[in-house]
Structure 1
Amino acid sequence: MALRERAVAAALRVHPGPVATLSTSRPPRGRRYFDHVLHGDPFDPASALAAVVEFEKRTGLTPAAVVPFVDPSLGAGLAVAEYYGLPFLSADAVRHSSVNKDLMKSRLQEHGIPTPRHVPFHDAEGLRAAIAQVGLPCVIKPSGFGGSMGVTLITDESRIEDRCAYVMRTFAENYADFSITNHSLQAEEYCDLPYEVSVEVMNHGQERRVLAVTDKSLGPAPYFAEMGHRVPSVHAGDQEIRKLALRACAAVGIDRGIAHVEIRLDGAGRMEVIEIAARTGGDGILDLVERVHGVAPYELHIRSYLDDLDTIPAPQPPAGTAALAVLKARAGRIREVAPFPATDAPVVAYDIFAAPGDRSGDPECYEQREGYVVLHWPAAEPHTLAAGLHCEIAADIARTVFQVEE
């Protein structure tokens, strides 16, 4: 998957045997990265286990570890791990992480962890009943999706019907791709705290350590598409944020690998956990952590699932500030994609996904992006840089690269 490729490099560093993945495609994108590609659905427990068992019959090889990197693969990973007696998260931890946001929030509330109130619903009538409890404005979303897909804000009653239709349509068009069996939708009270961070927590047994705190930049309302990430956060020194993330991991029961905890805050002591995912953060966040803090998060994550980790190393003091920002073309049909321009910005990597003829829309979730750019200021502390500088640089580059017809 885009922006998670360094997981393969980490696996090759820490494991002497072959590295395999599961895919329903023949041939799958990225096949060249792996020693073996097993034909099975990585999001369906029965299909994934059948593919691994068939591979064992054919080759005699059995897995040394099964390692999850995205939410929908947690159930399949658990099925394979239980069959082969391998270390993995407990079924309870999987069930109460962000694969089911209803159960996740209920578990957090049971442990006294601040999180927005929520009410499940299934249709417009149920949404109106939910809004009667959580009030307006509120956020609605599919309970089993990630990547901001289908997440939208409702600010007044006149938008209830069309926002509900948007979420239901998004779910109907995408749930089969991820083998999602949880069809619940969720309304939650809007958290109006102005800042959002993610906390990357490494867990192994009873030991937990915060590796980094990341500033997050979101796209325009009514959506919550993530447009940029910056490490370290200007809030990285706030010990209460770190304590809250550790408490959330303990409440859900995450005792292996990296967890990605999203928190909103006001910088004056108020904070709420929005989500806790029992897997590595996406969008290249772990690459930024490795670049700045000198610790290899993917390597630690894989070692934990191999049960090959004595203790969690402390991250180094930050070597400057690193950021990733989405390259976003304005809405329309992309007529031309120009070469990446010369720039004075400290660009260290980039990728462009779009091609002439593609259509660009408003940023709703991780799918509406045309590329990304990675930046690194080796000597800059985060508070010395403008909060949205990385996103402004990406916007300037996108205007040069993408020629768009209305």
Structure 2
Amino acid sequence: MGSPAAGKDQYLLVFGATMALRERAVVAALRVFDGPVVTIARSVDARAAKFFDHVLIGDFSDPEASLRAVLDFEKETGMTPAGVVPFFDPGLMPGRLIADHYGLPFLSHRAIEDSGINKNRMKDRLLAAGVATPRYVRADDLDGVRAAVAELGLPCVIKPSAFGGSLGVRLITEESEIAEAYATVRGIIDSNAATFTVKNRGIQVEEFCTLTEEVSVEVLTHGDRPRVLAVTDKSHGPKPYFAEVGHRVPSVHSARTDVLDLAVRACEAIGLDRGVAHVEIRLEGDRAPQVMEVGARTAGDGILDLAERALGFSPYELHVRSYLDRLDGAAPPPHRPRGLAAIAVLKAPPGRIAEIRPAREVDAAVCAYEVFAAPGSVSSAQQANYLHREGYVECYWPGAAAESVPRNAHLDIAAGLGAQIFGMEEADGER
């Protein structure tokens, strides 16, 4: 059911719904809001722009540029936003400025600045609240990284204080790796900060969390008491990187009350009180879990699509309703899972891709797959972050419990598809 009719001169402004694997945010916006849905893009050829009623041209990650685009659109058409909804980190500060200008509901400045867009402030807030999370040391240069490693000990993790998608996150196990790891992280920061208008160019060195499993917890933070919506099992590629290569909903840990309570406490510590938050937690056996990150926005990588398929409701819709102050009891009761949904990264062998071939055999669990790469693309030997992917595959096992499907089934399906799809150029010695 849609929302009450919007004013004829009002629209819903969304940030981040054009990103790959977040497209169903647009579907949710159209279901909830009875009026035009608008986004901001840097150019008219933006991905998925055709799904919006209007695309405002501007820098979606720069607050002043985004507000300017909205004000120019108001001068041109007389239309103003009825709500502003962020679906990714770069839209948080621009969305806040626009919401302030028009007096619309939004997260507080403090909650945004203390979330995953500034991992130092996030850690400080969690530690001050007694929420279990690895210690960290801020480092501004190579000498600072060396001092942080000496303080925390090896192994440890180096990462940008901003950014997501595993950009720049790397394990350091030997002192001889420090200089190269620092140079890599600094290069990633410098090359990506301008892309996303990120002013925070700091580096964080974090003690290594030895817990071997990871989940993400999607939490509806509207009102006084956050509420858990879904728990996702996460899979990572090989060290020294922490790239996410697959997700499953529901998690085999969905009933662990210590994990659910920790996610809620983390959101409360950050001060989140609107929308769906994304909390990443490490765990292992009966050891105490630890929070790795708290994102003041919806999950990426199609995780909310998996939740909708497996649990029967749309977290995206709840997120939009929260930012419009129109939840009206719409938060769903606990849902019995209808099956197991999963997504996995498609990865080509290292080298240059010669051709993209149709798959000859597709597992019955496959719902859909998409290839991002094209002939001539170069596949990296390892997936260091979200940029090192050639595509993805979505799977669904109707009626299946999480424990009844092998933990790596979606990863195995992805590996089999990749072997069929990607034709690689022969190395010189093989010709």
TM-score scaled by length of structure 1: 0.98
- Of residues 7, 12, 21, the one that matches 2:39 is 21
Alpha carbons 1:211, 1:314 under 8 Å: kept:
no
| Residue identity opposite 2:394 in structure 1 | V
Aligned-residue offset at 1:206: 1.1
| Residue identity opposite 1:156 in structure 2 | E
1:155-166 pair list within 5 angstroms: 155-166=173-184
The answer for the alignment partner of 1:327 in structure 2 is 346
Alpha carbons 2:67, 2:97 under 8 Å: kept:
yes
Aligned-residue offset at 1:224: 0.7
| Residue identity opposite 2:167 in structure 1 | M
Partner SS state of residue 103, structure 1:
helix
Q: Does residue 54 of structure 2 align to residue 56 of structure 1?
A: no
Aligned-residue offset at 1:20: 0.5
The answer for the alignment partner of 1:222 in structure 2 is 240
The answer for the alignment partner of 2:404 in structure 1 is 384
The answer for the alignment partner of 1:200 in structure 2 is 218
The answer for the alignment partner of 2:423 in structure 1 is 403
Q: Deviations over 1:249-290 (max 9, x none)?
A: 111011000000000001213210000000000000000000
- Of residues 181, 195, 204, the one that matches 1:186 is 204
The answer for the alignment partner of 1:128 in structure 2 is 146
| Residue identity opposite 2:307 in structure 1 | V
CA RMSD of aligned residues (A): 0.9
Aligned-residue offset at 1:223: 0.6
Partner SS state of residue 215, structure 1:
strand
1:87-106 pair list within 5 angstroms: 87-106=105-124
- Of residues 323, 347, 355, the one that matches 2:374 is 355
The answer for the alignment partner of 1:337 in structure 2 is 356
The answer for the alignment partner of 2:336 in structure 1 is 317
1:35-50 pair list within 5 angstroms: 35-50=53-68
Aligned-residue offset at 1:18: 0.4
Aligned-residue offset at 1:101: 0.2
The answer for the alignment partner of 1:144 in structure 2 is 162
Q: Does residue 257 of structure 2 align to residue 239 of structure 1?
A: yes
- Of residues 382, 395, 400, the one that matches 1:375 is 395
Aligned-residue offset at 1:174: 1.0
1:3-22 pair list within 5 angstroms: 3-22=21-40
Alpha carbons 1:20, 1:34 under 8 Å: kept:
yes
* Percent of matched pairs sharing the same residue: 55
Aligned-residue offset at 1:347: 0.5
Aligned-residue offset at 1:340: 2.9
Q: Which runs of 5+ in 2 are unaligned?
A: 1-18
Structure 2 Cα separation of the partners of residues 345 and 275 of structure 1: 35
Alpha carbons 1:235, 1:267 under 8 Å: kept:
no
Partner SS state of residue 65, structure 1:
strand
Aligned-residue offset at 1:341: 3.2
Structure 2 Cα separation of the partners of residues 131 and 241 of structure 1: 29
Aligned-residue offset at 1:381: 1.0
Aligned-residue offset at 1:314: 2.1
Q: Deviations over 1:334-366 (max 9, x none)?
A: 011001332234111111111110111120101
Alpha carbons 1:114, 1:273 under 8 Å: kept:
yes
Alpha carbons 2:340, 2:399 under 8 Å: kept:
yes
Q: Does residue 299 of structure 2 align to residue 281 of structure 1?
A: yes
Alpha carbons 1:345, 1:393 under 8 Å: kept:
no
How many pairs align?
406
Aligned-residue offset at 1:380: 1.5
Alpha carbons 2:395, 2:410 under 8 Å: kept:
yes
The answer for the alignment partner of 2:96 in structure 1 is 78
Partner SS state of residue 64, structure 1:
strand
Bigger shift: 309-318 or 292-301?
A: 309-318
1:232-311 pair list within 5 angstroms: 232-311=250-329
Structure 1 Cα separation of the partners of residues 214 and 423 of structure 2: 32
The answer for the alignment partner of 2:7 in structure 1 is none
Structure 1 Cα separation of the partners of residues 375 and 363 of structure 2: 27
